[in-house]
Amino acid sequence: MALLQISEPGMSTAPHEHRLAAGIDLGTTNSLVASVRSGDATTLANEQGEHLLPSVVRYLPDGSVVVGAEAKAVEVSDLNNTISSAKRLLGRGVDDIKTLAGNLPYTFSSSDSQVPKISTVAGDVSAIEVSAEILKALKNRAEKTLGGDLKGVVITVPAYFDDAQRQATKDAARLADLNVYRLLNEPTAAAVAYGLDQGEDFDEKIIAVYDLGGGTFDISILRLNKGVFEVLATGGDSALGGDDFDHVIAEWILQQLGDEQENNPTKLREVLVEARRVKEALSDADKVEVSLGDWQGQFTAEQFAELAEPLVKKTLFACRRALRDADIDKEDVMDVVMVGGSTRMPIIRQRVGDFFEKPPLVDIDPDKVVAVGAAIQADLLAGNKPDTEMLLLDVIPLSLGLETYGGLVEKIIARNTTIPISRAQEFTTFKDSQNAMTIHVLQGERETVEENRSLAKFTLRDIPAMVAGAARIKVTFQVDADGLLNVTAEEETTGVKSSIEVKPSYGLSDAEIESMIKDSMTNAQADMELRKLREAQVEADRTIEALDSAMASDGDTLLSADEKTKLLAAREALLLEKQSGDTEAIKAAIKNMEKTAEFYVARRMDGNIRTAMAGQNIDKFKD
């Protein structure tokens, strides 16, 4: 298989020197660490032979921390100090947590910080700190198994993680004292594992990676072409996963127990634990006995299929949208790869197989495939296989752009653009002698600022005094391999520069993640009409600004009183039409204004030519 290699800065290695590297799947429900040993990528087990590390952390009064199965065993009895599914809170802000708090069995401390904190007996902790404890445990396992210090790791994240969630993951790794080679989208990691392990010879292959973990869902459409993995499109939901399937069973159990149980946090946790057991048991049985306290009942696979249908439909809707984004038909998909422990559910495998009209691949353990792919990539980035080459191309999930005059959004990098990427575009000033420009960075698919997500703002100052439109402001967007954004603005005639690294302290809300792309489609026509209106209003402002500037400069010397009155009347008519909201009427008023001012424009041009020619000998301009 012909392959291409990315040589990352500082990653070259001496001949025959083997660097210890690992891939980490930081999961919502369970986490794993894997490494390449004797040429094979395998997950690493603890002393008890367990490969999965439950993503559960317990805080004790003396400040010590317990991670994994031991913490999970007491999550019901020590509810307030045992934290699970922290991945769902990574990159979330205080406002986001307010909407989620009703579904979370934790007490959040009041804080002015944008990073929410969970109150425990050992003090307040953030999701970043909880995740760091999980990463520390995985790091210790790897170093103990491999017999040395890790030089670097590749950590996987859901493809739909935004900038804030990716940055929070890197912050957690930093707290765990891990050197992160790069963040890798989970579906891409699965493609690495399958693409190398199967050893098929093909020129080009389209695959779908259906990744349903404990707390997140991703669907990615990838093209594998001679060893190059390119993500054509991604979709999904960062707040939909196996936990939600647990909840539909838990709600059924609560109905059997009675409504009075719903306000009992301890009972809720017990119900969720039983619901998860029932879900897992239904993978191998048609019906399961349910027992909780004095109550006993029976739950069937048919009941589960009915209750889970809305959740399954949400995943298939995302699959349909990703295919459309990739401009791929279902018939073009050659293989469907199943990733995540939740894909063991028979209803998921059946419905996904029906949707893509082919049986999904489950050759590699769906719990381990992401960690295996990350380990392969980490081994390459560590420089342990200099003769092996690989190019991984991920994409950004939402468009990136900036605000222009009139509240419009100019998209610099479109969604599903391959990263890493650097793109630049030139802008200019709107007013004469404008010496500063605010760069407002936005994320989303809509045409106006208010309908998109604000990422950051910064100001470019010391722009030299020029007439409107003369300055050349080059704005560059750079997205690195981890999906993190850096924006630079430079005035090209002077070299004045300003930049910002976008590290938002909060993530997209569940509603935003689910609806931003959908809204852009359903409102496409209305958005285009609104953009045309805004553009006409901007042009009207430019026309009025140009007239005002000219009249302030030489209106008293070049215009009679009647001519001034005529121009000001046309100006007032344009101003009124601008406020009317009628695009065609605004365009007509602009044309009328330009026609009315034609004599004035000609008179000014003649004056400028006479001024430029004053004192010159006309003979020198002759051939």
- Report the candidate in 11, 21, 13, 3 with the shortest Cα–Cα distance to residue 375: 21
485-513 pLDDT per residue, tens: 888 888 887 888 887 776 543 344 434 43
Residue 611, CA atoms < 13 Å, CB-side half-sphere: 6
Using a pLDDT cut of 90, give the percent of the chain over it.
Answer: 26
Question: pLDDT band at 49, cuts 50/70/90?
Answer: very high
Angle between helix 301-325 and helix 242-257 axes, rounded to 10 deg? 150
Element (H or E) spanning 376, and its range? Answer: helix 369-381
Instruction: Name every residue whose Cβ is closer than 8 Å to that of residue 23 and which is 6 or more positions away in sequence.
Output: 33, 34, 35, 41, 153, 154, 155, 156, 184, 189, 371, 372, 373, 374, 375, 376, 377, 378
Report helix, strand or coil for 16: coil
- Bridge partners (DSSP) of residue 400 are 413, 443
SS3 call for 321:
helix
The two three-digit tokens of residue 295, written as one number: 């109550």
* Contact of 444 with 398, CB cutoff 8 Å: yes
CA distance 86 to 68: 13
Domains and CATH numbers, the chain: 21-393 (3.30.420.40), 396-522 (2.60.34.10), 525-613 (1.20.1270.10)
pLDDT tops 60 at residue 245:
yes
**Helix residue spans in 408-523 (DSSP H):** 510-522
Asked if residues 53 and 68 have their Cβ atoms less than 8 Å apart, the reply is yes
User: Taking the mean position of all CA atoms in its chain, how far away is CA 32?
Assistant: 23
Tokens 């919502």 — which residue?
28
d(CA 615, CA 558): 22
Q: Which residue has the tokens 């017999």?
A: 147
User: With 90 as the cut, is the pLDDT of residue 375 above it?
Assistant: yes
Q: Which of 95-99, 169-173, 532-536 shows the lowest per-residue confidence on average (mean pLDDT)?
A: 95-99
Token pair recorded at residue 234: 């991604």
Kindly tell me the burial class for residue 305, based on how many C-beta atoms sit within 10 Å of its own C-beta (0-12, 13-18, 19 or more): middle
- Residue 342 CA to residue 349 CA, distance in Å, equals 10
CA distance 536 to 509: 33
pLDDT interval class at 390 (50, 70, 90): low
**Among 559, 561, 534, which Cα is nearest to 547's?**
559
Strands 117-120 and 217-225: unpaired
DSSP assignments along 39-85, one per residue: TEEEEPP-TTS---EE-EEEE-TTS-EEESHHHHTTTTTTGGGEEE-
pLDDT in tens, 576-618: 888 777 888 888 888 888 888 888 888 877 777 666 666 565 5
Distance from C-alpha of 616 to C-alpha of 620, rounded to nearest angstrom: 8
List, by residue number, the catalytic residues.
25, 87, 186, 211
Helix axes 369-381, 186-197, angle to 10 degrees: 80
Predicted pLDDT of residue 518: 57
- Pairing mode of beta strands 418-419, 453-460: unpaired
pLDDT at 618: 53
Q: 3-state DSSP call for residue 278? A: helix
Angle, vertex CA 529, rays to CA 526 and CA 531, nearest 5 = 110
**pTM, rounded to two decimals:** 0.58
Q: Are strands 53-54 and 217-225 parallel, antiparallel or unpaired?
A: unpaired
The 10s digit of each residue's pLDDT in 120-137 is 998 888 889 999 999 999
Preceding peptide of 420 cis, ω within 30° = yes
Percent of the chain with pLDDT over 70: 82
Contact 393, 48 (CB under 8 A): no
What pLDDT, on the 0 to 100 scale, is given for residue 6?
A: 36
Tokens of 156: 């996987």
> What is the rounded average pLDDT of the residues 228-234?
76
Average confidence score pLDDT of the chain: 81
Q: Which amino acid is at 283?
A: S
Alpha carbon 110 to its chain's center = 27
